[in-house]
Each structure stands twice: as structure tokens, then as C-alpha cells.
Amino acid sequence: MFKDHRTNRQIFQDINREQRFQTALGFDQVLLQAAIAQGTARQIEQLDELNAAAAETNERLGRLGASARLANRLLAEQAAGQARANRTLDELKRSADETNALLYARMGQAERHHNEDTWQRFAMWRSSTEDGKAYLEWQDGAKDVVDRCLDYTARMDAARTADIRLNAASLIADDPEGLMGEPVIPAAPPRPEKPKPHRPVKVGPAPKAPDDPHAWLAILPPIPVLAVGAALSFILGPDGGLPVAGLLATLLAAGVAFLFARGVLADRYERRDDVKRYREADRARRARIEAAMRAAAADRDAKRRWDAADDAWGREYGSGAYAKRIRADWEARREAFIRDSLERARRAMPPATHWAAVNPMDTVRAIRNFMDAAVLGMPTRRELPDLRLPLLATVGSLPECAPNMRATLAAILLECVDDPMADVAPAKPGEDANAPFRPLGAPAPQLPPADGADPWSDPSGYRPDRPWD
């Protein structure tokens, strides 16, 4: 029989390799089942992406009213500004009364009686003395001046609010960065492709070890020869037959030895090729097993890297996260642009008190302070200050980006044309009361050509102001 020349260590190594290969084949089956399950998960993920796309569509439909909401917010902000201005004016009107009420509330009983006596004496003085009657007439005129100052300021504040809205809308409409439209979402990078597994390696069955079924047949040919030699020796007997019997026995022994040696040597050389082929086949099979295990390990490593890359892609770009992140950044930039436009328009507008060359609130405070002091001082006719409106400003002193304020100031100046209490400040060089409206951000008007050149540069001679020529 064939003898296995491998050592025990080699046999155990071969058995271990066979077990690892069987384990790898079982792991490949598990990977196949996992791939099938992943395909089902991918279908579920696609359904989630469809739902996310539908949600994004609904979100876009909701953003169609962004312009209306922006306008409403602008109106709300301007209304809030108007309300703040009105509250400021109301506070100016109520400041003296609140101060008196606070002082009166903090007075003791004796002080309140004294204050009541003071008011009674002041009322008697206004109704019974010439100075008091003159003060009453002056007081009516002073209230008219205060009311007109507050009215002009309120009208200019409303016009200022309208101009802020107008210029802010103009700045927003320019939109140099295109922030008021829909954001441009760049295409996301392609999703990582799943790696293709290696072609399966066919290991094949284990080669059959060569056996030695014919080695014992080499003994069979000498048996008949031995039988014949023994029979002849028995027939011839010991009388004269010994030389022949000895010769026959010798020949038979030589033949047996020859045949036995021939059989052994022939079997040895014939079986050596079978052993060589078996070992080569076994080594080739072990090499295929190792190649299959290396391919399975490479597939597992590629699958692990792909899973990590696919998860990262899903977090970065999957389920609309990429578009939502860009849209959120876009919305933040648009909100900042709107706020900057409103703030820029506010800074460009002069205060609501610009209808006067000086601050009219100083006149209002001076009149009120004098009226408060008159309760105790009871001024004479000569001590009464002159009643005049603050020096009125010119229309040209207002910027060209404030058409409503310029129109309101023009109306105020028209009301004060024949008013003896109103004077207009002289116009400064460069002020143009008839300058057209030029919103913020608009280019400066070009100067007319020098030397009397034709302002119309069209070589055809067409003039927009005289289309009939």
C-alpha cells in the first residue's frame, strides 16, 4: 500500500486549512444572505428618499409665499418703527404731566395743600391781571407752536418710514448675489458603488491517494514453478536425480528471485509517478484553497470600506440633507441681506425732525419748561418769550433717496408761506429741491457734456424727448 510521507504537523496543517476553507465557504453564504437583506434595506431606503423628496416639494410650495411674508415683515417692522416714534412723541407730551403727577404724589399733605394754593393763585392771576391775560394769550400760541412741531415731526416720521421701505425694497430688488431667488444646489457626488466580489475559485474535490493493490501479485508467478520443481525432485528421488533436482531447485530459486525483484521494482517505479501526480494535485488544491480564502478576505475588506463610505455619503448627501444644509445657509444669508438692506436704508434717512434746520424738540422743551415755571414765577408781559417755529429746512437739504420726506417738507413749507412765525433757512450751494428720486445703490447722474455738446449720443439723431423730429 501507499505510504503517506507527511509528518503529523503537515497532516494537522492540511486539516486546519481544510477547516478554514469550509469556514470561508460558510461565511460567503452568510455574506450572500446579508447582501439579499441589504437589497431589501436599499428598497426601504429608496422609499424613504421618495418620501423626503415629497416633503421637500411641499416645503418648496410653502416657500412660494416667502415674498408675501417678507413684505408683511417689512410692513410690520415699519409699523413698529412708526409705533415707536408715536410712543416717543406721546412720551414727550406726557413727560411734564407725569413729572408733575409724580412730584404731587410724593408730596406730603402740607405740600399738596401748598401746591393747590399755588395753582389757585396761578388761576386767579391768569384771569384777573393783565399779565395773566397776556400769558393766557401767549399760552394759546405756545400750544399751537408745540402742536405744530409735533405734527410736523409725526408727518416727517411717517414719510421717513415710507422712504425706508422704498429704499430697502430697491436694495433688495437689486439683489447682487441673487439671494431672493431659489438657491442653486450643486449636484451631489455620486454614491459609492458597491465593490464587485472576486470570481469564485473552484477548489474541486480532494485528490484520491494512490494505493498499492497489485504488489502482492508479484509472488504468484514463482508458485507454479516451485510446484513443478518440487514434483520433479520427488519423482526423481535421491538416486541419481540430485544433480537434476538441485539444478531445477537452483533455477526455480533464481526464477523466483528474479520475478519477485521484477515485480517489486516495477511496482516501485510505476507507483512513483502516481505519488508525484497526487502530491502535485494536492499542492494545487491547497493553493486554490488559499487563493479562495484570500479572495474572501479581500471581499470582506472591500465590503467594510464600502459600508463606511456609503454611510458617510448617506449622512452627508442622503435623504435631502445636502440640499437642506445648502438651503438653510441660503436662508441665513438672505435674512442677513434683508436686515443689512433695512439698516442701510435707515442710516441713509435723516431724522424725522429734519423739517427744521435745528432740533424742533429743543423749542418744545423750552416752551414746556417756561410754562411749568410760570406756575410759580407768574411772568410779566415783557418776560414772555417770542413764539416762532424753528427755522425751517429746505427741500434740497434732504437726500435724493427720500422722496416722501422731500414731498412732506415741501407741503410743510407751502403751509408756512404766509406764516409770520415761520422762516426758511437759506439754501446751501449744491442743494437741488427739484432733483429726481435716486434710490440707494443707484449710479450717480452723469454731468451734462461740456462746450454745449449734444446730450444725446445716439448717432441716428433720435431724441426721446422729441420723438417727432
In this prediction, residue 240 carries a pLDDT of 47
Q: Residue 183 falls within a domain, yes or no? A: no
Of the candidates 363, 422, 425, 418, the one whose C-alpha atom is nearest the C-alpha of residue 395 is: 425
* Ranges under pLDDT 50 in the chain: 1-2, 57, 61, 64, 67-68, 71, 240-242, 450-469
Of the candidates 365, 355, 426, the one whose C-alpha atom is nearest the C-alpha of residue 390 is: 355
- 211/113 same-domain check: no
In this prediction, residue 224 carries a pLDDT of 65
Domain that holds residue 203: 8-58+190-323
CB atoms within 10 A of CB 106: 9
In this prediction, residue 408 carries a pLDDT of 93
Q: Residue 295 falls within a domain, yes or no? A: yes
In this prediction, residue 467 carries a pLDDT of 36
Of the candidates 160, 161, 180, 185, the one whose C-alpha atom is nearest the C-alpha of residue 69 is: 180
**In this structure, what C-alpha cell is assigned to residue 177?**
448675489
**CB neighbour list of residue 20: distance below 8 Å, 6 or more residues apart:** 289, 293
What's the gap between Cα 148 and its chain centre? 53
Can you tell me the distance from the alpha carbon of 43 to that of 328, in angstroms, rounded to the nearest whole number?
A: 29
What is the SS3 assignment for 338? helix
Q: Residue 3 falls within a domain, yes or no? A: no
CB atoms within 10 A of CB 184: 8
**Quick one: 218 exposed, middle or buried, by C-beta within 10 A (0-12, 13-18, 19+)?**
middle
Q: What's the structural domain count of the chain?
A: 2
Q: Residue 106 falls within a domain, yes or no? A: yes
Of the candidates 113, 142, 99, 122, the one whose C-alpha atom is nearest the C-alpha of residue 364 is: 142
In this prediction, residue 107 carries a pLDDT of 52
What is the SS3 assignment for 458? coil
In this prediction, residue 349 carries a pLDDT of 92
In this prediction, residue 175 carries a pLDDT of 81
Q: Residue 292 falls within a domain, yes or no? A: yes
- 53/72 same-domain check: no
- 91/126 same-domain check: yes
Q: What is the helix (H) or strand (E) element at residue 45, kind and residue range?
A: helix 8-63
